[in-house]
Amino acid sequence: MASDPTRWWQPAVECSPEQALTLERAAGQQQRFADIDALAARLLAAGFAGRPVATVVPGRGRHTPDTAKVTALTREEEVFCVNAFGVQEQQRLGAWYLPQKLSVKAGAVNLPYLLRERPGHALTLAADETARLTAVEDWDTVLLWALLVPLFETLLQPIRLRAAGEIFPRTEQQRFWTLIEERYRLLGIDESALEAFRFGGGWHQLDRAGQQQARLRLLDTLAAADLVQLAARHRIQRLQGLMAGFAKKARTGTALARRVLTKELQPVVSAYFGGDWLAVLDYLQAPPHPDEEIITALPEPRLYVGMATQTAGMAAEAGIAEDEVHAMLAAFLGGGSSLSPVEERAAALRGWWAGFDQAHAGQSRGMPSLWGLVDQDLMSLNRTEQGYTPQLYRQRLPADVLERVGRLWETVTLARYPGSIVSNPRPHQTMAEALGPAAEFWHGVGLTAWFVCEGPYSRTTLDRVDRYYSRPLAALRAAGCPVDTPSSANCKPPNNSWGRRRRSRTARTVRSRPRTGR
């Protein structure tokens, strides 16, 4: 882009942070960052004074993500952050680049606190405080990712580099320390605090206590600096990268946001402009590209369900044969039928339930149990317990039901790789999961009744069924499909000699066995 005298930022790209801030102030642009710079400075002060800035709560289990919370905020600051860094707020302004999966090194912002409170283990503890998120949903995450972690990591890089040890060649180490010293000089930090850290400064000659004291001296030096000015200089350095990226892509006019906002520049826009590309252009005094589109909301998803039942009306309205409408729907849906995928699976579930109900209704004394009719337990393939028949559904359900279940649930997407479709080794189990608590409860009750009568044991008695299946019963109530609980008098074993002989057995429960089944 040719030099434009009306654009104040063009000479600011290559100058020092102090000079760039002067140009920014003269252009009347510095005030827009006053709150952000003040927030960053106060959190720096809290950290250097020995207060924790954030916490990471590990998720329980493989599928529960960690959570990261910024805890050192005042009430007013928290309200400001909700508006400035909220995911929905930023996406409303066009920041759809926010990552879906993210590892936030929250330990970086707690390192000053750990160095003062746990100096012997500070670096190890800080390394452990990494939040691994499967979805970026909270403003705390955006605040850490975009603003705080880059700021703290820049200032504490000497400590982190020394902790890594001399794993790099001498020439690489010299280059790293030259860059760190230059960065400290540009940020206005007293470079004497680096004396023990810099290459050739005698770090390896210090004992453990001496190294801890050197780290604390560095923290004290940072705490004594003008933190608002330090935060502003760090900010303008990051904005200089944004200016350079914009200028590189805008040689013949304003570039599109998607061409400018690389992975490195996206957190800069989220940190200082709330994810608003139009605010970036206002700052850079550039008009939007004529083809620029700012998506403020995702379109509401539309499910194409029930169209097959409307074909007669659509055909009459269009004046064409109904068969042609069915053919067009099949082509639109990408299958061999005008039924939508939802309709097709709903019909398969109804067919499966009819077969399931018929199998239970036909049970009588002397017949094998129906344990195995519902594919619920992944470990049951290796089970040899009395009364269990692996994959019993293949024997007791109609052939057309088996075919539809195998065809419609033969593939799945993986939660960790949603862009891939893989073969499903257990289509009947996946189908049963769609029926959820209904299949669990009614199949369990049917098996309980059979095992109470036929033995050799039952996991519960009939008068305790409502307690044993309390979880699926609660789920059915929540879904608007409550099950009436019969009175205990109606749930007792038969009052005859056979019932009396079996009563001691039916009272026993097998707590060590999986819940699936009878």
**What is the chain's pLDDT, residue by residue, as a tens digit (518 residues)?**
445 556 899 999 999 999 999 999 999 999 999 999 999 999 999 999 999 999 888 776 656 777 889 999 999 999 999 999 999 999 999 998 998 778 888 888 999 999 999 988 888 888 877 777 766 778 999 999 999 999 999 999 999 888 877 666 788 888 888 999 999 999 999 888 888 898 888 888 899 999 999 999 999 999 999 999 999 999 999 999 999 999 999 888 899 999 999 999 999 999 999 999 999 999 999 999 998 888 777 666 665 555 555 666 666 666 677 666 656 656 655 566 656 677 788 888 999 999 999 999 888 888 888 888 888 764 444 455 567 888 888 988 999 999 988 888 888 887 767 777 888 888 998 888 888 889 889 998 888 888 888 877 788 888 888 888 888 888 888 888 898 876 544 545 444 333 333 333 333 333 333 334 44
Cα–Cα distance for residue pair 376/438, rounded to 1 Å:
13
Cα–Cα distance for residue pair 449/486, rounded to 1 Å:
14
At CA 288, angle to CA 287 and CA 292, rounded to 5? Answer: 170
Cα–Cα distance for residue pair 58/37, rounded to 1 Å:
30
- Which has the closest alpha carbon to 23: 35, 33, 13? 13
Cα–Cα distance for residue pair 92/276, rounded to 1 Å:
9
Q: Where are the domains of the chain?
A: 10-283, 436-518
CB atoms inside a 10 Å sphere around CB 484: 4
Q: Helix, strand, or coil here: 394?
A: helix
Q: Helix, strand, or coil here: 271?
A: helix
**How many angstroms separate the Cα of 185 from the Cα of each of 22, 83, 166, 178, 343?**
17, 34, 24, 11, 67
Would you state the structure tokens that stand for residue 191, as one six-digit string? 């470079």
Cα–Cα distance for residue pair 453/364, rounded to 1 Å:
10
DSSP letters along 244-264, please?
A: HHHHHH-TTSPPPHHHH--TT
Instruction: Give the single-character DSSP code of 148.
Output: I
Identify the bridge partners of residue 421 per DSSP, sorted by sequence position: 413
Would you state the structure tokens that stand for residue 430, as one six-digit string? 């996946």
pTM above 0.75, yes or no: no
Q: Does residue 456 have a cis peptide bond before it, meaning omega lies within 30 degrees of 0?
A: yes
